[in-house]
Amino acid sequence: MKQKKILIVDDEVEILILLKEAFESAGYVVWTAENAEDALNILQTQSIMVMFLDLKLPGMSGMELCKMIRINNQIGIVNALTGYSNFFGLLECRAAGFDDFFTKPVSLKVVLKAAEEAFERLERWNFEQYDL
């Protein structure tokens, strides 16, 4: 796998900065967006296969964003970040196409491990041989 790119979408700038710094220090290339529309613009020009999306975003929600991403990308690993956790929310996230679900505040160790496992899975799938 060439560059290991991650997209983080969260309207809380402090969370974006914290996650960006943590992922970059672990060797990842990180793109950030404060809303779904900016995230979709990034995804039009960048092939990013690991994403962390806040569910509560201004305008289009993270749930809607995940559904939009899944139209063109069924292989990527899309993770939900939320401050509101319940079983119904987890089921709703799975139905929308999320691969995993993390409740804020989430430990940096946990999200770094999730990213590492996501890239290991993508490498095992050998998805780069396809034009995605």
Q: CATH number for the domain including 95?
A: 3.40.50.2300
Beta bridge partner(s), residue 51: 7, 78
Is 62 within the bounds of a domain? yes
pLDDT at 83: 84
User: For residue range 6-30, what is the model confidence (pLDDT) as tens digits?
Assistant: 999 999 999 999 999 999 999 999 9
Is 130 within the bounds of a domain? no
Mean pLDDT, rounded, of the chain: 93
Is 98 within the bounds of a domain? yes
Is 54 within the bounds of a domain? yes
- How many domains are contained in the chain? 1
Does the model's pTM come out above 0.75?
A: yes
Banded pLDDT at 90 (limits 50, 70, 90): confident
Is 19 within the bounds of a domain? yes
Is 132 within the bounds of a domain? no
Is 131 within the bounds of a domain? no
Structural domain span for residue 109: 5-125
- Residue 7's closest CA among 41, 63, 131, 87? 41
